[in-house]
Structure 1
């Protein structure tokens, strides 16, 4: 059975997994072409002492093409899961750590129980470590599997936990029935044990995030807990916030573009639509002045009035000119003498340049006259 993909949630691309596969292939070709001699460090020798170089090199050499292809398919699938949760540098450290650690123990211990074995090579033990880690982190996630049935390839799905249990079980059976003759299976189980321990430690220390799909959550009955659902809801909420921010940015871009090409009505409509959708969008001082000027140039006094009022509220310092202009619009175009009076009355005691002071005083006189004549103003809280 050959696994080729998994539906586990991953956070990182399998960059180092691809590099390791390439290194294994290059090492195998180098061995076949005799560019390197396997006996010169690429074979984990038994009974000749401890050789650290062999601990590192032997996991990258394979006996034949079938050995290589099988291991690389498994490395791709379980490297995808483990690197996808760890990130490239942590994954590389774990991979090399299992490879070197397992090889060191094997070379120190196994010659005592299998003195007739010359040595071993291959990535099987470290890949079994990755398989065990994947089982700890994603036991209920589904693996896609293909098998050859004659000339046909059959595909099906099985959980990571069941797949891992099957392969570990096979190695256990081999060790029970064949004893010292099952050195390869014993090496596999050693790698799996190292991977399982590392998987639990990394999970408990928070290095990996398994969204409550991990083996401990499954065994404790908290699989699919409210904690996971809450995280999913928070993730959806964050995406919505990002989407709203993107929409606000796009609205602001359109607003500025309409101002630039001299279409103040479209700019105002864009602003109104954005605010109706609760998008955070406030034109700056210069944009507001440009919008007000554009609307008044087209004699859209009613449209310009609320923009002038916003300018006064947001930028009170230096807004006297806009305030007086708004008061004039209220008098002449909107029939709102009381609002006009209130606007200029607020700056009655302020020393203004002669021209502005004269305009202010004129608005006060006209507004007072209209009010004294009994002109009715509908106070609808709108401009």
Structure 2
């Protein structure tokens, strides 16, 4: 189950979202050919990924930024860029271009630091824009909790797109990250659940001043919890999966 779009396109061109997506894609392409060279890819990760033990020792703080633009596979990259594209445009529209860029970087750096705090001695490189994008999702939840999000559900041969409020989708996602945080060992690698959980709450907290300037609860009442733009109506084509009648 993953989101494919929301129903409120932004009111202006999200230049920063496009710039971030382009930067992530081009950087990944620049070293994708090194994936089969263990020595080279390990050197890239050593130089630019977050390695908690190095930061704990007082080194490589710049990797808190550079690691946000590295990804481990095409699917890792595509998944992150999909979430950024869906949730980033409305947030950039509401914040403004430069404030949104600073917000994104602050959320990503904070998520990296939270990961370091939860695994201070780990030598496992950590990469990806997930922490920063989790911050975007936290801000989106605060500002637009009732925005309509289309979800693609795939269960073996059952494929369906359906619409749910953002607070349901983001709440389920956050719950999964939190449960993963409790059950995983960050020293062993894998998904950096604490970075996701922490980044989400950092993004939510950083968005509170903007929410208050917009009127707080009055902003929700005025916009009904949706981005303040005309809603887009989508038509779904009928599923091509054959129906088997009951006997």
Structure 2 length as normaliser, TM-score? 0.76
**Relative to structure 2, which stretch is displaced further, 131-140 or 78-87?**
78-87
Which residue of 187, 196, 201 corresponds with 1:193?
201
CA contact (8 A) 2:47 2:63 kept: yes
Tell me, what secondary structure is at the counterpart of 2:13? Answer: coil
What is aligned with 1:145? 151
CA, structure 1 residues 38+152, in 2 after alignment: closer, same or farther (shift >3 Å)?
farther
CA, structure 1 residues 101+146, in 2 after alignment: closer, same or farther (shift >3 Å)?
same
What is aligned with 2:115? 106
Are 2:68 and 1:59 aligned?
yes
CA, structure 1 residues 22+211, in 2 after alignment: closer, same or farther (shift >3 Å)?
farther
What is aligned with 1:68? 77
TM-fit CA distance, 1:165: 0.5
Determine which structure has greater relative contact order: mean sequence separation of CA pairs < 8 Å that are 6+ residues apart, divided by chain length: 2
What is aligned with 1:290? none
TM-fit CA distance, 1:91: 1.2
Question: 1:235-270: CA deviations, max 9, x gaps?
Answer: xxxxxxxxxxxxxxxxxxxxxxxxxxxxxxxxxxxx
What is aligned with 1:46? 52
TM-fit CA distance, 1:158: 1.0
CA, structure 1 residues 118+224, in 2 after alignment: closer, same or farther (shift >3 Å)?
closer
The correspondence of residues 91-240 of structure 1 with structure 2, limited to 5 A, is 91-107=100-116, 109-112=117-120, 115-150=121-156, 153-180=159-186, 184-206=192-214, 212-213=219-220, 224=224
CA, structure 1 residues 111+174, in 2 after alignment: closer, same or farther (shift >3 Å)?
closer
CA, structure 1 residues 61+9, in 2 after alignment: closer, same or farther (shift >3 Å)?
closer
Structure 1, gaps ≥5 residues long: 226-230, 233-383
What is aligned with 1:22? 22
TM-fit CA distance, 1:186: 0.7
TM-fit CA distance, 1:212: 2.9
Task: Indicate the RMSD between aligned Cα atoms, in angstroms.
Answer: 3.0
Matched residues in 2 for 1:74 and 1:99: separation? 14
Question: 1:213-233: CA deviations, max 9, x gaps?
Answer: 3xxx5xxxx8859xxxxx99x
Tell me, what secondary structure is at the counterpart of 1:156? Answer: strand
Matched residues in 1 for 2:89 and 2:183: separation? 33
CA, structure 1 residues 174+111, in 2 after alignment: closer, same or farther (shift >3 Å)?
closer
CA, structure 1 residues 52+210, in 2 after alignment: closer, same or farther (shift >3 Å)?
farther
CA, structure 1 residues 223+17, in 2 after alignment: closer, same or farther (shift >3 Å)?
closer
Question: 1:324-360: CA deviations, max 9, x gaps?
Answer: xxxxxxxxxxxxxxxxxxxxxxxxxxxxxxxxxxxxx
TM-fit CA distance, 1:139: 0.5
Structure 1 length as normaliser, TM-score? 0.51
TM-fit CA distance, 1:150: 4.1
What is aligned with 2:237? none
Greater helix share, 1 or 2? 1
CA, structure 1 residues 106+224, in 2 after alignment: closer, same or farther (shift >3 Å)?
closer
TM-fit CA distance, 1:65: 1.3
Tell me, what secondary structure is at the counterpart of 2:192? Answer: helix
Larger-gyration structure (1/2): 1
TM-fit CA distance, 1:103: 2.1
What is aligned with 1:241? none
Tell me, what secondary structure is at the counterpart of 1:12? Answer: coil
TM-fit CA distance, 1:44: 0.6
Matched residues in 2 for 1:141 and 1:71: separation? 20
